[in-house]
């Protein structure tokens, strides 16, 4: 039995779901239709603003001496990165399970927080 057969047998999918923005709100596609994440302005603010500058610490440069750092200083548009993101069925299911209500002691919902975490990971390490 191949890898794909095993995934299908386990009920897992190789499908990827896109991120899109409509009327100022971020959505992720799903088998059940668009899944609302949060207002775009909240996502951008939680990511630190509309631009992300690629940087490498001295510790990273020393630890990974052969690492290509020629992209250091380049500025990445956060919304462009957001649009480039696709998601696995597992991530979409996990996202859907998180509440959209913003807790009184926070600025974004748990669903938005999970999404922003993935966005920041992609900004730091690139889209896989």
pLDDT tens-place string over residues 46-105? 999 999 998 889 998 999 999 888 888 999 999 999 999 999 999 999 999 999 999 999
pLDDT tens readout for residues 106-120: 999 999 999 999 999
SS3 for 61?
helix
Q: What is the pLDDT of residue 8?
A: 46
* Of residues 91 and 14, more confidently modeled: 91
Predicted model pTM: 0.82
Can you tell me the distance from the alpha carbon of 91 to that of 16, in angstroms, rounded to the nearest whole number?
10
In the chain, where the domains are located: 49-128
27 versus 72: the higher-pLDDT residue is 27
Kind of pairing between the strands at 51-53 and 75-77: antiparallel
pLDDT at 3: 47
Separation of alpha carbons 2 and 22, rounded Å: 39
To which residue do tokens 């991530």 refer?
A: 91
Categorise residue 45: left if φ over 0, alpha if ψ from -120 to 50, beta otherwise.
alpha
Instruction: Say what the alpha-carbon torsion angle 65, 67, 73, 75 is, to the nearest 10 degrees.
Output: -150
What confidence score (pLDDT) does residue 124 get?
87
């Amino acid at each position: 039995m191949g890898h794909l057969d095993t995934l299908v047998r386990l009920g897992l999918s190789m499908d990827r779901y896109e991120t899109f923005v409509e009327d100022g709100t971020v959505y992720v596609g799903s088998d059940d239709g668009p899944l609302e994440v949060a207002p775009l302005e909240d996502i951008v603010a939680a990511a630190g603003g509309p631009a992300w500058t690629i940087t490498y610490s001295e510790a990273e440069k020393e630890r990974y001496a052969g690492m290509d750092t020629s992209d250091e200083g380049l500025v990445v548009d956060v919304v462009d990165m957001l649009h480039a993101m696709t998601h696995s069925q597992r991530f979409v299911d996990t996202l859907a399970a998180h509440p959209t209500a913003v807790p009184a002691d926070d600025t974004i919902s748990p669903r938005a927080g999970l999404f922003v975490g993935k966005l920041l990971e992609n900004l730091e390490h690139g889209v896989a």
